[in-house]
Structures are given as structure tokens and as C-alpha cells.
Amino acid sequence: MSTKEVNWAVYHHKGGRWSRVKTFNAEQRDDAKAAAEAAVSAQGVSGVTLVKETYNQVSKSTDEVAVWSSAKPGIPALGVRKAPPGADKPMPTPAASRSRDNDDSPAPARSGGGRNDDFDEEPVLVMRNQPTGTPFLVVFKISAAVALSVTVAGVASWGLGQVNGYALFIMLMGERNILTKVFGVLFFMTLLVALPNMVSWKEFSTAFSVTGGGPKRPQSRRQGGSRAQGRDGRPGGKDARGKNAESNTKGNGKSGSDGNGRQDSGSPEPEKPPATPEPTFGPEVEDGKKSVMTFFSRCIDFLMKTSSTFMKGGKFSSYNHFGCDLFLAGAAEAYAENRGMADKKIDVMASVVAATGRPWDRAKQFAEKHDGYLLEPRYLDMFRSGRDAMQIFLKDEDMRTKAAAGELSKDDEAMLAGEGESDIGIFLEHALDSWNEKKSAPATSGTVTVMFTEVCGAAQFAATNGDDQLRRLSGYHDKIVREALARHEGREIKRNGDGIMAAFTQASAAVEAAIEMQRGADLHTVSTPDLPLHLRIGINAGEPIQENNDLFGTPVQMAARICAAAATDQVLVSKIIKDLCQGKGTKFEDRGTAEMKGFAEPVPIFEAVWKDTGMPE
């Protein structure tokens, strides 16, 4: 099996830089040569180079050889190794040259970060060399034209004054400041004549135009990137065109020689340490890996059946692959906690991430430091989606086990029968929807009801039970709060310490949502007494500053202060909220006034009663 794959890349020199504009696979060498020759006459192009790229799957390095080039005098060569003499002759047909596809002498390895193949159709700006002297030369010529115009205009103005030749100018422009006016007219006339003769438009546009349209990718193969990562984020395997590396070297038969049996020559490649193999774990971790990957495969089956837009050709983009890493990390954590093996959580997490194609070193590092990613709200959402989905998956699996043993009630059997195994994938689809969503800024004016929630006693709970248990408790808080927000048309703004900041368009909807949150937390505490959840909630309304999906200003500060003033299991609101909820059926009790930091006068506060079903105030 061949260990090399070949591509042909066409580069243009334009605007003082070399830019990659087209890529061809191994069988398209004639097309590559034709594209390179056609580009020579393109407007603004001062140089063209055709590069043969050979990726070595063993050493994870790319060898680049310039096989054909055409450039104007003074244009620096592309910074790659030149082909041996004769390599720039007309290229043979594919049939005649197929046996030479692997005839590449190894060069010092160019390795680095992976490539992102989602932008393959867009040219990539590659600064192989520092910009040439063309811009400096153009600026020098323009300066010379200006200096010449100043000199000519000055001399001509002085000469006209000596022979009383200003009569025509005085008649056209008046006598006031006539010398300055004459000088200006002569200067611009001279400049209009001199400048086009000293600097052509083509020379100017070539010196200052910008090449490489489209978004700049963070790192490309031409900038030292390795071909070790494909479009789906998996190392090696198929390239961005879906072709196996072996097909690019068909007919060779030997990975270390060309079709004529010659051995590769050139400077030896530096030895690289082999990739760290995945260690062998005990049966608990292996069972966890198997369970989580079964869960993930069902999620993928769901995406494939629903024609999801997140998979191109059956593969994830690099961005969505990373999102799936977070999703799997959450699933692995849920599995470890459910099975009472929290101490092996990191091992399970690293194993499942490595199973998606990540190198073991990278997967292990990701698992050990995944907490740092969870500080970013979008990353945290993907992680929690994986947790929630895995908890449901494990519950369903337990129910299926009981059903097989005849231990399940008829109602549970009927519910289980109505669910497909791959339906769990809807969690991943919704998570990816949010992951790829481009959030737009809301309106910048109008009355908004602001809510703050907070988990009571979070710091003390963490000190007693540990950060992992606090994360579980926060997960239940977020689930209860977000479900209530969805039912009452609330909008989550951001996480705020141990709670969530949200916004509503109606005050009554905010109060109803807060009552639902408290009742949900109460039900959770009753059903899970070893992990009690108690909330405090504060609500206020006003016209805050709205910018970049965030809220600022006095109404927000007051809502936060009201939340801080609330006791355990309490919902406190401002007077404006109470007034807006008149006639809505909610009972409020006056809690007097409270001194709040940042407010000169005591603030009246009211409690929205959610445990008492008595008549509203």
C-alpha cells in the first residue's frame, strides 16, 4: 500500500505576494499545467509557478517541488525546492507518467497544524516572500512626477511674471492671489502629463492590489500545515476530494521507489518520534467507551437519515467535529457518573474522543483540560447537550434491559415501543443547530423585563461535595430554567455566576416562568434528596441598553440586586413588575423596602407567592 499522495498546486504572483489559486489531484497534471500556462497572460499576474506536492503519511510531512515556473524579471521565486533539470519541459500524458507519480526525493519535512478543508475552493493568501520592491518603485516614480511638476510650475510662474504674461489668467481667475492660482494650474497640468508617462495603471494596480479573496483560514497546508487531517477532522484517511491516497499512486507497487524501480534520493528526512499509542484500559473504561460510541453512532445515524446539513459527504467539518468532541465529553461524564466511576471519567472521555480519529495525545489533553472550555457559553451548551442526551440514552437502555427480562410495566413498554433507537440523535442535531447559529443583535430600544436566577448556597455546596457535584447541580438548574424560558418566550442572555440572566417582553410571562422554575426545583429536590436544588430569583423591568446580545444599565443592576436580596426558594420583583401583573392572577406579598448598592433611595420589593394558591392581591 502506498504511503504517499500527490497534488498539483498553481500559484500566482500578484500584488507583491505569491498566492495559491488552484489545486489538482494526481491524475489532473495536464489540467494543472494548462491552468498555469493560461495564467501567465492574466491581468496583474507577474509570475506563475506549478508545484508538485507529495504528502508522506508515515512521516506526516509534505514535500513541495516547483516543476514549472514563468515570472517577469525581478520577481522572487516561490519558496519551495526546484525540480531537477528538465522537469519544466512539457509534461507527458497521464498514461506515460503514471509510473512517476511517486518519484519524489524527500526533503526536510514541512509539518505543523492540520488543515481546514472547508474552504478548498477559495484562494489562500500565502506570504512566501517579503513583498517585492515594486510598491517602493511606484511610490518613487510618483514622488518624482510631483517634484518635476513643482519645478516646472514654479519656473513657468516666475517666467510669466517676468514678461507680464498673467493677463489671460487675471481675466479668467481675477487678480487676487494670482501667483498662487497660476502656480496651481501649471502644477496640475504638468502632473497630468508627467504621471501617466512615468507610472502606468497596470504597474500601479500590480503594486498595490490585494490577492487571495475570501476569508483567511487560520492555517493552511502551504504555510507548513500537515495533510494529516481530513475534512471530517480525522487524521490521515481520505483527503478533501474523497480520494484515497493509494489511488493517487496506482501502478507504483512500491512506496519507496518510482515505477522504474529507482530508490528515492535526496537528503534524508529527519526522524520523528512515533505517535503515542492509546493505552490499554480496564473493562470498566472499555465498556464505557463502547456504550458512549454506540450512543454516538445512533446520533450519527439520525443525522444521516434526516439529511442533516452538518455532514458533508458523510463527514463533519473541523468546526463541527470539535463541537462533537464537546458533546461526547458531556456524554462520557454522564456515563461515568451514572455508573459510579467518576474517578475514571477522564479516561472514558479521552477514549471516546480518540475513537473519533483524534491522536491519543490530543484526546488526552482535551479530556484533562475540558473544564477550561466550559467557561465559554457555547462550548458549555454543547457539553451539557451531550450530558442530557446520554442520561436519556442510559435510562432507555436500562428500560430495554428490563423489558427483555419482563420487568417493565405495560405503560413503560408502550412508551419505549414508540421510540426509535436512533431518535436520541435529535439532541445532537439541536445542539449543532445552536452551535452553528449566528446570533443577531436584538433591537436597541424598548421595555424589557430582566430576570436573574441563582443557585442558593452554591459555594458552600461545592466546598462540601466537590466541583463535580456542583456541576451536576448547575446542570439541573440550567435544564429547569431553560425549559421554563422556552415555554414562556424568555430569552437567555448569559450565564451569570451560579445562575442565568434572561429577558422577557412581558412582565407577566417572566413571573409565570419564575414560579415554574421554583416548582421545578422543588420537584427535583423531592425526587433527588441527595442533590437538593434551591433557587432565588429577582425580576425588574425597564429600558436597558441592548448591545451584542447583552443588556446593560440601571434596570439590569436593579434586577441583580433584587435577586441578591431574595431568600432561599423566593421570587422577588420590583414595584413596576407587580403593577404590570395586575389582573394576571398572581399573588404578591409586600416585603417592604431594601437598601441596594448603587441606588440612593430604598427600593420597594414584593414576593411572588408560588407555594400558596390563595387569591391574588
User: Has residue 101 got a pLDDT over 70?
Assistant: no
Closest CA to 198 of 148, 130, 266, 258: 148
Sequence-distant contacts of 80-85: CB under 8 A, at least 24 apart:
80/49, 80/51, 80/128, 81/107, 83/52
Contact residues for 556 (Cβ-Cβ < 8 A; gap 6+): 450, 501, 540, 544
Q: Assess contact for 502 and 537: CB atoms under 8 A.
A: no
At residue 500, the pLDDT reads: 93
Using DSSP, state whether 506 is helix, strand or coil.
Answer: coil
At residue 484, the pLDDT reads: 92
Assign 50 a pLDDT band (cuts: 50, 70, 90). Answer: confident
State pLDDT tens for residues 244-271: 434 333 344 434 444 444 444 444 545 5
User: Has residue 94 got a pLDDT over 50?
Assistant: no
State pLDDT tens for residues 389-444: 888 888 888 777 777 777 766 666 655 554 545 467 788 888 888 888 765 444 44
C-alpha dist (Å) from residue 278 to 104, 133, 352, 355, 486: 33, 52, 11, 10, 42
Assign 238 a pLDDT band (cuts: 50, 70, 90). Answer: very low
At residue 452, the pLDDT reads: 95
Higher pLDDT, 86 or 369: 369
Give dist(CA 302, CA 164) in Å, integer: 92
To the nearest whole number, what is the mean pLDDT of the chain? 74
Mean pLDDT calculated for residue range 571-580: 94
At residue 535, the pLDDT reads: 94
Show the CA angle centred on residue 428, arms to residues 425 and 429, nearest 5°.
90
Give dist(CA 444, CA 35) in Å, integer: 51
User: Has residue 579 got a pLDDT over 60?
Assistant: yes
Q: What percent of the chain has pLDDT over 90?
A: 21
What letter does residue 446 receive in the DSSP assignment? S
Which stretches of 240-336 are assigned E, i.e. beta strand? 311-312, 315-316
Domains of the chain: 4-129 (no CATH), 134-208 (no CATH), 291-435 (no CATH), 448-608 (3.30.70.1230)
Q: Assess contact for 539 and 451: CB atoms under 8 A.
A: yes
User: Has residue 12 got a pLDDT over 80?
Assistant: yes
